[in-house]
Structure 1
Amino acid sequence: MGLPGLSPPLPGAPTARPGARAWIALAILCFVYVLNFLDRQLLSILAKPIQDELGVTDGQLGLIGGLYFALFYCILAIPVGWLADRTNRVKVLAFACGLWSAATAACGMASNYPQLVLARMAVGVGEAGGVPPSYAIISDYFPPGMRGTALSLFNLGPPIGQALGVAFGASIAAAYSWRLAFVWIGAVGVVTAVVVWFGVREPRKGGLDAAPVQPAPDVPAPGFWVTFRGFFANPVLRGMALACGATQFVTYAILNFTVLLLMREKGMTLEEVAIWYALLVGLGIGIGMFVSGRLIDRMARRSKTAYAYLPAIGLALAMPLFAAFVWAGSWQLALVFLFLPTGLNYFYLSPAVTLVQEEVRPDQRVLSGALLLLVMNLIGLGFGPTYLGLASDFFRASHPDNSLQMAFYTLLPFYALAIAMFLGLARTIRRQESSVTP
């Protein structure tokens, strides 16, 4: 089933098997995603020393890590996705990696809040060209039936990046300064951009579908507005994007303020964050990403409703444990309760990406992936951290010692909203499957 008004994608060839080049490309793209997420999360990991030096409030941290960043990251992903669908996706990715890495280094040189805002906005500009091209490249290196697993391996980038960011960033900040962490990570990213440019080959678009797509010379590729309208006219794609946005409202709020909560209100030190929270994030999110990818490859063969039910189940199991994490009086007990929700919260990502990549034509995959990210990141990344930071500032007058804890409790209704939206999406998919059943 493709976008309305377009020919549906052809079924994949189940006997196709990726070669060594595909796995090497996947490893390189995953490392780029590690850097992408590491750069993005350094701000939240180093929030305490940044606040101490620059005098930044929780609300300002929420804005710089949320809305200010997301406006550039989400909106620019659309024209970048349109460009990548029509040019060389690997070169677009390499250029983007170099740009966001240079901007990350600039964050370490900021001497005040406005300069830090500008540098973070530049990071958002570069990162707009990171994930959507990677989704499409992987989908043309791996056949249907293996894409869920491949994309789940790629999606290990965020937990690895978060874990390395916590371990590396906190250690460098504790031993030297928070500024040096930004500069070093930025330098690694610039070198990686060169590796992507020369080390990853652009795969043929649609080459691993059942019959590789060979567009007729007189038939142009689908235009920007054709793909845009088609994506939002498809109730399954639209519903998936909105449900993921509601989920990311919770997950990005948690990611951006957990370290600050653990340090300021639960007594954790930077050195302890560098070890224990890094391990929790790396293992928790990593297991959640991989397990959900494997499960969706198996479950979706029976019914596409698995793309919605699997995230709903994950969030329902995570919700009470998250409440216990917020309640816990010590950081040790808090981490015990946080481990499972850290993985279960990410049961949505691999199903969402896999569904979108298999629902559209090969020459629409980058732009469609960018549209998915536009909706879910603009809602989640743009407003989740912004909301939580402002909520903490609101509670500071009445709860000066635990304003962040009170703000974290207010995320529970958003958990319930995301679960309800995924259950509604499952009903939409079921109706759509019934309508095409003879």
Structure 2
Amino acid sequence: MKNVVEAVPPGGSAKEALSRQSRARIVHDSPRSWYILGILTLAYSLAYIDRQLLNLLVDPIKHSLVISDTQLSLVQGIAFISAYLIASPLFGRLVDVTNRRNILLIGICLWCTFTALCGNANTFEGLFLARFGVGASEACVFPIALSMLADCFSAKRMARAMSIFILGPMLGGGLSLVASGLVIESARGVHLQFPILAQFQTWQLAFVIIGLPGILFALLVLLTVREPVRSRILGGGEDDRQFTTGDAAAFLWKRRAFYTRILLGVGTLAIVVLGMPAWLPTYLIRAHGMPAASVGFRFGILVVSFGIAGALVGPWIAQQLERRGYEDAPLRTAALSMFPMLLCCACIPFATGSAGALAAAAGTVFFFSLPTGCMAAALQLVAPSRMRGAIGALYSFVAQLIGFGAGPTLIALLTDHVFHNPKMVGYSIAIVCTIASALAAWLLFTALPHYRRLLTEERAAQVG
């Protein structure tokens, strides 16, 4: 039976009455729920289009601004990820205490504006600051989505909803390739039709054209999405328990045995998610002599197809485990997926030829995509509504910090300082990703008893 999120009881101050009018009653798993999921997934895709565009325009930017590889790498990495990590906890707290729809509106407008400002940059410093703005504003999406989706879906559908949302980066990555290609091809015609844009070079025009239309998407959000009433996932009903910052910290500390394990599990999984794709193309080029263009096309298709398949299969496996009586099914599914991922990572340097290496990589992509929605769902099932934003921000913070900080770098260090041979990068990928997979498996399996205890506590709180 579908769960209905009840409206706030009548009465109270005029301010409370106005707040109630701005919130929507959502039937769990209803068409309205799926519409909100679609909007949030598109927002996440749009964020990734704006995020990835810079990586496709490296050489034109370097030549235009006369900057070095090192300077451009700072714009690609430090400018974005430092802003993202600084802003993520702040957005997590805002999500728990204010109107989430309005935060999303502001975030979309800001990152689209900063993307367009990247195209207006004519110095390294200007590009760095615009990229910093993109990173800071995009940090809002993940905690907003984890909080809002938990108010729109039942426990039965939560893993599926989270998995679909997490498809956003894969869709955005593919769309960024298509969109940037179309923009570059049509740049000459745009210059002729709009003389005001003649001052922009092709790469600058790409940022402007990709960035500004996002404002129209923000308008769609404004007109069609209302703030959902905050609710419980298990059993339904409104959940508007208030948490100060101190209360939230005490809540997490009391349950640190669970949260430490699952968040570190997310981080070690991110080492594989970010490390293997960062270096596999280089391995195929160095060790198997594949042309760069062929690597980009074949590996890109592989990531999109197997990534989507894994994200959709994960919730189905969790559902089968739940039918067999496993109340910890989402987290158990994530833990179990670490073992085949480990084997696929280990096979990469030993596979025969480029086709074998790509097959091992396909298996790795499938199994590291499979648990993502399940892990996000597991976190939200045991979180109060007014804590979901903070927990979602922690999830994203730890994944980005450990994944970006350790994944690609550990593989490079192993290649340079242990093997002393660039062609041995395949073995570096296997060693780092295999160890990370094993560590993630241990963390998630040891989190299971703590997770079951928190599920029991959450159900008891509803009865109380």
Give TM class, smaller chain: 0.7 to 0.9
Report SS of the residue matched to 1:142. Answer: coil
Amino acid in structure 1 at the alignment position of 2:216: V
Q: How many residues align?
A: 420
Q: 308, 312, 315: which is aligned to 1:293?
A: 315
Shift of residue 319, structure 1, vs aligned partner = 2.5
Tell which deviates more after alignment, 267-276 or 77-86.
267-276
Normalised TM-score (structure 1) = 0.80
Quote how far apart the aligned CAs of 1:115 are.
4.9
Is the 1:103–1:123 contact (alpha carbons within 8 Å) kept by the matching residues of 2? Answer: yes
8 Å Cα contact 1:45-1:259 kept in structure 2: no
Distance between the aligned counterparts of 2:367 and 2:203, measured in 1?
31
Contact 2:345 2:429 in 1 (8 A): no
Instruction: Give 1:408's match in structure 2, choosing from 422, 429, 442.
Output: 429
> For structure 2, which runs of at least 5 residues remain unmatched after alignment?
6-26, 188-201
The separation in 2 between residues aligned to 1:363 and 1:205, in whole angstroms, is: 8
Q: Counterpart of 2:156?
A: 145
More moved, 136-145 vs 383-392:
383-392
- Among residues 432, 438, 441, which one is paired with 1:419 in the alignment? 441
Kept after mapping to 2: 8 A contact 1:252/1:380: yes
- Taking the aligned partners of 2:132 and 2:251, their CA distance within structure 1 comes to 30
Match of 1:229 in 2: 250
- The aligned residue for residue 213 of structure 1 is 238
| Unaligned ranges ≥5, structure 1 | 1-10
State how 1:35-434 maps to structure 2 within 5 Å.
35-43=46-54, 54-56=67-69, 61=73, 65-66=76-77, 68-108=79-119, 115-169=126-180, 181-206=206-231, 210=235, 212-213=237-238, 221-234=242-255, 235-259=257-281, 262=284, 272=294, 275-300=297-322, 302-326=325-349, 331-388=354-411, 394=416, 398-400=420-422, 402=423, 404-405=425-426, 407-411=428-432, 412-429=434-451
SS in 1 for 2:369: coil
Question: RMSD value over aligned CA atoms?
Answer: 3.9
- Bigger relative CO (Cα 8 Å, ≥ 6 apart): 1
Aligned partner of residue 18 in structure 1, secondary structure: coil
Q: Which amino acid aligns with 2:153?
A: F
Change (3 A) 1:273 1:334: same
| 8 Å contact from structure 1 (residues 12, 143) kept in 2 | yes
AA matched with 2:304: G
Instruction: Give the drift of 1:296.
Output: 2.3
Which has the higher mean CA deviation after the structures are superposed, 149-158 or 330-339? 330-339
Shift of 1:172: 6.3
- 1: CA distance, partners of 2:79 / 2:391: 23
Structure 1: how far apart are the matches of 2:109 and 2:458? 46
Q: How far off is 1:307 after superposition?
A: 3.5
SS, match of residue 155 in structure 2: coil
| Residues in 1 aligned to 2:326 and 2:346: alpha-carbon distance in whole angstroms | 32
Aligned-residue offset at 1:243: 0.6
Structure of greater Rg: 2
The 1:358–1:305 alpha-carbon spacing in structure 2 relative to 1, beyond 3 Å, is: closer
State the SS of the aligned residue for 2:163: helix
Distance apart, 1:214 and its partner CA: 6.4
CA contact (8 A) 1:22 1:141 kept: yes
* Counterparts in 2 of 1:73 and 1:156: CA distance versus 1, 3 Å: same
Are the equivalent residues in 1 in contact too, given 2:4–2:237 (CA < 8 A)? no
Q: Which amino acid aligns with 1:221?
A: Q
Partner of residue 20, structure 1 = 31
SS at 2:108's partner residue? helix
> Equivalents in 2 of 1:71, 1:418: separation in Å?
25
Q: How many angstroms apart in 2 are the aligned matches of 1:264 and 1:273?
A: 11
In structure 1, distance between residues paired with 2:98 and 2:304: 34
Deviation at 1:72, TM superposition (A): 2.2
Q: Write the deviation string for residues 367-412 of structure 1: whole angstroms up to 9, x where unpaired.
A: 22112222232222344345445666x4599335x37546434423
Distance 1:77 1:427, change over 3 A: same
Matched to 1:196, the amino acid is V
Deviation at 1:422, TM superposition (A): 1.9
Q: Among all aligned residue pairs of Structure 1 and Structure 2, give the percentage whose two residues are the same amino acid.
A: 25
Which AA in structure 1 matches 2:95?
Answer: A
Q: Which amino acid aligns with 2:252?
A: F
- Aligned pair in 2 of structure 1 residues 183, 258: CA closer, same or farther (>3 Å)? farther
Q: Deviations over 1:196-215 (max 9, x none)?
A: 22222211111776452265
Amino acid at match of 1:236: F
What's the TM-score, normalizing by structure 2?
0.76
How far apart are the structure 2 equivalents of 1:113 and 1:265?
Answer: 35
* Rounded Cα–Cα distance in structure 2 between residues aligned with 1:117 and 1:395: 31
**Cα distance in 2, alignment partners of residues 273 and 43 from structure 1:** 20
Would the alpha carbon gap of residues 80 and 274 (structure 1) be closer, same or farther in structure 2, given more than 3 Å must change? same
Cα deviations by residue, 1:228-259 (Å, 9 ceiling, x for unpaired):
33124312233111111111122122344445
Shift of 1:35: 1.7
Q: How far off its partner does 1:173 sit?
A: 7.0
**Cα 1:409/1:310, change in 2 over 3 Å:** same
